[in-house]
Amino acid sequence: MSTMDFFTAMEVSASGLSAERTRMNVAASNLANAQTTQAAGGGPYKRRDVIMQSVDVPGVQGTPFAQAVKGVAVSQISQDTAQPRLEYDPGHPQANAQGYVAYPNVNPVEEMVDMITASRAYEAGITTMTTAVNMAERALGIGR
Amino acid sequence: MSIAPITPPISPELAGITGVTRIERPQAAPDLAGTFRAALEDAHGAEHRATTAAEQFAKGDTGMGIHEVVIASEKANIAIRYATTLKNKALEAYRELMNTQV
């Protein structure tokens, strides 16, 4: 379809929106579990991080720009390998023999910054999308 | 009676024109009907995808987010308007021809 050119821009920014939404979800998960001492698999919750990867978008395959125009996708959500934060609290049920409780390696300030970045990137994606839609609409209005 | 065919040169002025080559119509020239049909099919597909996306979202499908639904409907909107624009242009051209004074 000849309007596919604007649809490509829409596909690309849509992939960005989805990736940023995932980043937002991960930041929410990290913040919610900032005090979780008992995670699946034992030990405290481990901070999650998103790994983003550029992917092909439909509509540009077979064109000279197939290798240039790329969408984005979250390839995996990895665990932060930083050591858990130890707090002295001998009365805590999860305290070890020395009286220390292992808390998640989550820094709420860092998560807030991540969240703001995701939010701003989402806004940028929306702006790209709106601009592409506006351009398509302007093109449809030629000669009217 | 016999009609004499027009033989070149028609006029002395035209005799000097040389080097004009006839432009052949391309074999697979895209016709308006074909373009319009393709646009309609695209619009239909986009509309169907938008409806499916909205249904999936309403059903609580985890893979279907808010922006996917909005984008699908926006794409359908553009595709339908594209098809409508082609239809309007074709009708306009047809009316123009029909109104030709003979």
Which residues in A lie closer than 8 A to residue B81 (C-beta atoms)?
137, 140
Asked if A136's CB is within 8 angstroms of B67's CB, the reply is no
User: Which is more confidently placed, A48 or B9?
Assistant: A48
ipTM for this prediction: 0.78
Question: For residue A1, is pLDDT > 50?
Answer: no
pTM value is 0.77
Nearest residue to A126 (alpha-carbon basis) of A24, A21, A54, A51: A21
What is the per-residue pLDDT for B17?
Answer: 61
| B48, two tokens | 């169907």
Q: What is the residue-wise DSSP string for chain B?
A: -PPPPP-S-SSTTGGG-----PPPPPTTPPPHHHHHHHHHHHHHHHHHHHHHHHHHHHHT-TT--HHHHHHHHHHHHHHHHHHHHHHHHHHHHHHHHHT---
pLDDT of chain B, 102 residues: tens digit per residue: 677 665 655 565 656 666 667 666 666 666 778 888 888 999 999 999 999 999 999 999 888 889 999 999 999 999 999 999 989 988 998 999 999 988
Task: Please state the rounded mean pLDDT for residues A90-100.
Answer: 90
Task: Please state the rounded mean pLDDT for residues A117-138.
Answer: 94
Interchain CB contact of A121 with B (< 8 Å): no
In order of B1, B3, B10, B13, B19, the CA distances from B6 in angstroms are 16, 9, 7, 15, 20
Which residues in B lie closer than 8 A to residue A1 (C-beta atoms)?
38-39, 42, 79, 82
